[in-house]
Structure 1
């Protein structure tokens, strides 16, 4: 009985497979920019090197692919667009984590340098005071 309620994996059409493949390959390229308009429900991928742009309109379930020769916009099933958006959001999140980690590491290194500089400065001051005390 519970097998009937179990959600089966989504099977994409041939076109959906191609679209998903294109988007997945674009997401693998670090030269692909990912932008979004969260309020408008639009997500944008652009890769100038590949001359490729993708616009995902999540509210209308429309995906537009544009390259130097063609521009095609089609409406797809909600589940497919949600799967595409999930992949885009995961990659965007992964990239944000990489940037965050880089910034965090830079801040940690800077703080460590400052801390070491202060320790050295305090040690020098202590040595100067001791030297003055001995000479007085």
Structure 2
């Protein structure tokens, strides 16, 4: 680990990761179409990232019935900064019937925007 790496993240990095995970959950829960998340994804990695997002959606998918309560909720988020322009996070999610699962992700800052460069559904 480089000396400038932070085992924990700055408050700003934590907000960026939380906002990205919250947007992912809006897609997973059917409140937002997946196409709205594309602007947050690295265009060079779309072929890898979109199938992972689809896996997350399938894992949490129960047909939404006119409910405003999300089916998948964030239980815990751990964030670290391997360098100033990169954020890595692990999110523990709770879905239907109390089943837990996780997402691991990496966000990198490019031209002032944070883009997801890696997303894994575990």
Q: TM-score higher than 0.5 here?
A: no
TM-score, normalized by length of structure 2? 0.29
Higher percent of residues as strand:
2
The structure that has the greater radius of gyration is: 1
TM-score, normalized by length of structure 1? 0.26
- Higher relative contact order (Cα pairs below 8 Å, separated by 6+ residues): 2
